[in-house]
Structure formats: structure tokens, C-alpha cells
Amino acid sequence: MGTIAIIDYGAGNTRSVLYALRRLGREAVVTADPRAIRRAERVIFPGVGHAASAMERLKEKELDTLLPTLTQPVLGICLGLQLMCRHTDEGDIPGLGIFDAEVHHFRREGEATRSLRIPHMGWNSVHTRGSRLLQDVDDDSYFYFVHSYYAAVAPQTTAITEYGISFSAIMEKENFFATQFHPEKSGKVGERVLRNFLNLKE
Amino acid sequence: MLTFRIIPCLDVKDGRTVKGVNFVNLADAGDPVELGARYAAEGADELVYLDITATHEKRKTLVSLVEKVAARLNIPFTVGGGIAGAGDVEALLAAGADKISVNSSAVRNPSLLDELAYRFGSQCVVLAVDARREEDGSWQVYTHGGRRPAGKELFSWVKEGVERGAGEILFTSMDHDGTGKGYALNALRTLASLVDVPVIASGGAGSPVHFYEAWKKGKASAALAAGLFHYGRLTIGEVKDYLAARGVPVRR
């Protein structure tokens, strides 16, 4: 088994991801070293907090240019997914442009989302549109979400969730994968998603 | 559909679970990690660990406990009790806590909420509020485990807390806590209409219908219970079965 690199740029819940992998019997390295990341068999890109400050930290470590060039399977989580999109309204900044989607605040939609509680926090059902990460997962299973911004549904959206509107729960493009929910905190089904990511065949 | 969350609360003192527990087949009911894992396996949506350790020195054991909990649990958990400042929060989040809850320290220094929201994001900042209804009908906030009046009115304090950056409210009615007669539904509903972040009901759960009422009448996003689950009077599964049968969205 090759190594798993968890990208450490000061804006991710790296510890939770590391522990989740250990529960699956896998070790990982938490690193910001471009060489270690490039060499890894799998790369996980977590993220929490504000998009603009997270992107600043990525740039400081020159990971913003590295990430889109990776060729092994990459998994973005939560803010990681949003940063992999074309643009985010959080701080009005360009993303990494891997996914052809815009990231908006839930409130932006007006009437449909006016009565919603923000953050979208808790367990919500995920409906597949052919996601490879949801293999052997019952459709409409519940996963744990915590976020106030969402990625709009795009051609790379492979699973959707409803919260006032439909948004991207999972996105996939070639070797790039991302989940808006936290698989590392989503019980058994979350473990299945991580396992599916680790077991992907090229 | 977003589900209504059921959240067991574990009181921890000097690294051990305090309240008596009637679980069979549990090697050590005083072990917060074992007990948390048991609740997670039973279907808890989240856990709250409340540290009631008296002395500051011993409280340092909390960080190592949080590490053990984070290593074991595959669901989110909140840590609260005696969190004094951003340094404490940083250490607990780094150890693997998903959210932290502040109570007395936020009353003492409300700008702590702004600081925590700015540094760590509102999504991990829970404002815990203990309050009771006074004779004049107003709801007043208490700190230090309900011993000290804070000189704040519940609804204005919660509103201020959310404006400052709290991402979730954990409201405990001291009048209802421990009674098993149900949550403070009127106060809950007022809170839920006042703020647009999730509100967790706490204090008073005694039977499955109380959870239903917290959702239906109190408009709460989640309900917390301690003794009810610890003493084995109800399982999380029983509560969720009841809720599902009455049309409440729950994760099963």
C-alpha cells in the first residue's frame, strides 16, 4: 500500500481525517511538502474556516499551483471541495478551477432559503448521480454536513443534497473527488466513502 | 432532508464520566471514550462532553481525553465546560473536537465569541446558555453551573451571541432540567424564531414525546439528554423509532 498524504496548510481538520483513516487500518502523513504530496498514492485535502484565508495559506505554501497538477486520486473535503471550484463568493475569490462550479452563500437564493437555519449543520441525505464514492452505499444515506456556502450543481456533480435548494454533495472529475460533507464524521457510511476512495481503480 | 439530531450529553470530571450508567455489557461505564462509542453505535447523531472538573490543573487532562474520543468516534462531538479563552479552544480543536461550547466565559467577556468565530469559524462555536424563568416572567441567565445570576436576559443575550458569531445555541432550562417533564417549549420556540442558527433543546427530557415536542412545538434543530440515556430509561433507538413514526426526519 502506498502512502496517503493529508494536506496540512493550517485550515483543515487534519487530525480528524488522520484518525478516521487509522480506524480503517491505514496510516497517513500530514504534510505541506510538495514532494511528499506529489509522491503519495492518495491525497486528501481537508478544509474548515474562511475560504479567503484558507486560499491565502495555500498560496503561501505554493500548494495552489501544485494541487490542480496532481495525477493520483485527490479527495477534497468540505471547504476543500469549495476551493476546488471556479470561484467562491466567500471573500469573492477565484478557486483552483478544477470543478466548473460557483460557490454561493445559502442566503443568496432568497425566498427558498430565507427560513433555513445557517450553518447547514447536521445529517442530511445524499442522492447519487453516479458517484464512484457511493459504491455499496444505500442511496439517500445520511452524511454529516457543516457549512454556510455551497457549490452549485455542475456537470461534475455526482451526488446532490437538498437544503432549500439542490447543491453539490459530491463532485468528481478524472482523478479529482470532493465531498461537501465530512466522511470522517459520518459514521459507517462515511467510512465506506473513505474506503471507496482508497480502493479506487485507475 | 436535514434530520432532527439526538445528542447525549456526558458529564466528565477528572477524566471520568460522572453520572451513573445502567448499560449492560459495557466494560467501564465511567470511561467517557467507551460510553461515547456506545452511544455512537446506538445511533447518537452527535455527542456533547461537558467537563465539570473543578480545578484548572486537572482540566488539562481534558485535551488528552478529547484526543482519545476523536480517535475512537466516527461522529461529531462538542466539548464544553470551563473554556476560558481562545488558547483553550485552539488546543481542543487541534486535539480533534468538532465544536466547543462556551458559557460563563462568554458572559464574562462577550467579545470572546467574536474572537472565536473569527479565528475558528462560527460553525464550531456553540453558545451554551443556562436560564430560568423568574417570578416576574422574564428568563434570566445563570453561570457557573447555574449558581450565579449573570445579570442578562435570555433572549437578548442569545441574540447578541449569534450576532457576535455563535453558530449554534445550546439552551438549558434550569427549571426543567432533571424533572423529566419535558423541555421549555415556549422559550425554545421564541429562541428559534429569534435567531437563524440551530438551537439545541436541553433540560427536561423524560420520554419520547418530549423529543417530538421539542421539534414540533419548540422548533429545535436538536435535543440533548443526559440522565435519560445514562440510566438506561430510554435508548436512542427507541426515541428515534418514536420520532420516525410521527413523521420527524431522523437518521436511522
Is B75 touching A (CB cutoff 8 A)?
yes
Active site residues of B: 11, 130
pLDDT tens, position by position, A13-35: 899 999 999 999 999 999 999 99
Q: What is the mean pLDDT of residues B103-113?
A: 96
**Could you give the C-alpha distances from B248 to A9, A76, A113, B44, B115, in angstroms and in order?**
40, 32, 20, 16, 36
**Could you give the C-alpha distances from A110 to A25, A92, A103, A148, A164, in angstroms and in order?**
45, 19, 15, 14, 10
User: In the predicted model, is pLDDT for residue B112 greater than 80?
Assistant: yes
Is B123 touching A (CB cutoff 8 A)?
yes
Q: What is the mean pLDDT of chain B?
A: 92
Which residues of chain A does B37 touch, with a Cβ-Cβ cutoff of 8 Å? none
Interchain proximity A190–B221, CB inside 8 Å: no
Residue type, B159: K
Half-sphere exposure of B250 (CA within 13 A, CB side): 26
pLDDT tens, position by position, B10-28: 988 888 887 645 555 555 6
Measure the CA–CA gap between B188 and B29, rounded to whole angstroms: 32
Contact A99, A110 (CB under 8 A): no
User: In the predicted model, is pLDDT for residue B60 greater than 80?
Assistant: no
pLDDT tens, position by position, A76-127: 999 999 999 999 999 999 999 999 999 999 988 776 777 899 999 999 999 9
CB atoms within 10 A of CB A190: 23
Interchain proximity A122–B5, CB inside 8 Å: yes
**Could you give the C-alpha distances from A108 to A149, B2, B49, B70, in angstroms and in order?**
10, 19, 35, 35
pLDDT tens, position by position, B142-182: 998 788 999 999 999 999 999 999 999 999 999 999 889 99
Question: Which of A:140-169 have CB within 8 Å of B?
Answer: 142, 144, 146-148, 162-163
Measure the CA–CA gap between B22 and B30, rounded to whole angstroms: 11
3-state DSSP assignment of residue B6: strand
Q: What is the fold, at CATH topology level, of the domain defined by A4-198?
A: Rossmann fold (3.40.50)
Burial class (CB in 10 A: 0-12, 13-18, 19+), A116: middle
**Phi, psi angles (nearest 5°) of residue A41:** -80, -30
Is A57 touching B (CB cutoff 8 A)?
no
Interchain proximity A147–B123, CB inside 8 Å: yes
Interchain proximity A117–B124, CB inside 8 Å: no
Distance from the Cα of A26 to chain B's closest Cα (Å) equals 13
> What does the domain layout of chain B look like in residue ranges?
5-245
Would you say the ipTM is above 0.85?
yes
Where does the pLDDT of residue B30 fall: very low under 50, low under 70, confident under 90, or very high at 90 and above?
confident
Contact B3, A187 (CB under 8 A): no
User: In the predicted model, is pLDDT for residue B234 greater than 50?
Assistant: yes
Is A65 touching B (CB cutoff 8 A)?
no
Select the residue of B74, B98, B197 nearest A117 (Cβ to Cβ): B197
3-state DSSP assignment of residue A61: coil
Select from 3.20.20.70, 3.40.630.30, 3.20.20.100, 3.40.50.150 the CATH code of B5-245.
3.20.20.70
Q: Which of B171, B82, B191 is nearest to B131 (CA)?
A: B171
Burial call A38-47: b when 16+ CB within 10 Å, e when fewer: eebebbbbbb
Greater confidence (A140 vs A50) lies with A140
Distance from the Cα of B148 to chain A's closest Cα (Å) equals 31
